[in-house]
Structure 1
């Protein structure tokens, strides 16, 4: 294994780890809100969150790239106020990855919370527990399976993401070059031995994640 292969895998793992970590933090309160709130525009919010699952990654990547551009107010603000350019940087790819992977984290958490009996919350409140204490000490322990599935799906999706990373981050070794893009490059160069190495890693990650998900689903049925 050469250094470029190792570096690409490290970049891929780094992107997947931070995307999953960030989404786990921000996804839990959003999933809680969607699971228990009732308001007219709820369907619209859920549709917006689910858009990355049906929208071509290149479309989403294009709009994110436009937002990053100094010609746009957001990109211009970042450059003028913070001297930061997000396009073709790891930070820019990370933000895009968080947006693209959002539904893979939120939906399993929301479904897990919504499936819990309302008596869990009611009993906790009756015992004088606060909503925050109820969330962390009563609700979350009872959706461990959903949390594992959400983390596994988000991580695997991020590891295999191609279009949005290419659109927003390009193909910069050590910064934005991930395994899926490296696989494409090696195939284009007819270097099938190296391509097979990347393909095997992506295959194994997907296989392990699916095995975890099906194992959890089997236990909860």
Structure 2
């Protein structure tokens, strides 16, 4: 089979699953990480370093370690997995739901840290003026803080999305490789290499490289324009 035959027979389902997973993970993490990043940027609590360390753990932990603990926590051997299976009939491993949960843990720091850094660079006088005018912390967050950290906001969303698309170790351990359910693009590439189908692996990998470059290039261009705007 030549290159063009391989390209014409390309299965799009792994890419569709990858982007579906990335979209769901990014949306959920934005809702979770926004108040967490805001609190971390504003608090002087002694618990702040502990929460920051916990949030950053997925960056330094091997994916196999994180994947193992997530797999065990969500499996029927744990109280959490058994509870969802018994009362809701939901199995949290080897399906798309498990992938989303695992991805949220794995990509959490990529959403929290840019948002936190953006909030920490805000002019404190601007926030104080909002509070003095009677605005609540929630209103200040939505209408004062967020509009003024657009580069950090975009970076958090795009990097989280791109990082989730490229996940491998954690999603393989928690979801396995079930076609149309958990077989994302990164897992498909791994399987092509296993069976020595390097041509298909090259095509899938090339598509991932191009997509990742376009995403990151767009972030850097946008941030550069935003910096010029404020100069």
TM category (shorter chain) comes to over 0.9
CA distance in 2, matches of 1:3, 1:76: 41
User: Paired residue for 1:151, among 150, 153, 157?
Assistant: 157
Q: Which residue of 2 aligns with 1:133?
A: 139
Instruction: Look up the SS of the partner of 1:173 in the other structure.
Output: coil
Distance in 2, matches of 1:206 and 1:53, equals 19
The whole-number CA distance in structure 1 between the counterparts of 2:10 and 2:211 is 20
> Which residue in 2 is equivalent to 1:78?
84
Task: Please state how far the C-alpha of 1:184 moved relative to its aligned partner.
Answer: 1.0
- Shift in alpha-carbon separation, 1:4–1:132, aligned structure 2, 3 A: same
Bigger Cα displacement from structure 2, 64-73 vs 47-56: 64-73
Matched length: 221
Unaligned stretches of 5+ in structure 1? none
Q: Hey, what does 1:168 align to over in structure 2?
A: 174
1:129 offset after TM fit, Å? 1.8
Partners of 1:58 and 1:190 in 2: CA distance: 24
Distance between the aligned counterparts of 1:24 and 1:77, measured in 2? Answer: 27
Q: Does the 8 Å contact 1:149/1:212 carry over to 2?
A: no
Q: Which residue does 2:13 correspond to in 1?
A: 7
Map 1:69-218 onto structure 2 (within 5 A).
Answer: 69-218=75-224
Partner secondary structure for residue 79 of structure 1: helix
Q: CA RMSD in A?
A: 1.5
Whether contact under 8 Å (1:89, 1:175) holds in the other structure is yes
What SS does the corresponding residue of 2:122 show, helix, strand or coil? coil
1:2 to partner: Cα distance: 5.9
Cα distance in 2 between the residues matched to 1:156 and 1:90: 18
Instruction: Return the TM-score normalized by structure 1.
Output: 0.95
- TM-score scaled to structure 2, two decimals? 0.91
Q: Where do 4+ consecutive residues of structure 1 move more than 6 Å?
A: none
Tell me the residue number matched to 2:3.
none
**TM-aligned CA deviation for residue 104 of structure 1:** 0.2
| SS of match in other structure, 2:217 | helix
- 1:58 corresponds to: 64
Which structure 2 segments of 5+ residues have no match?
Answer: 1-6
Q: Give the drift of 1:57.
A: 0.8
Name the CA distance, whole Å, in 1 between partners of 2:137 and 2:216: 33
Structure 1 counterpart SS, 2:177: coil
CA distance in 1, matches of 2:211, 2:140: 34
SS across alignment from 2:131: helix
Cα offset for 1:24?
A: 1.0
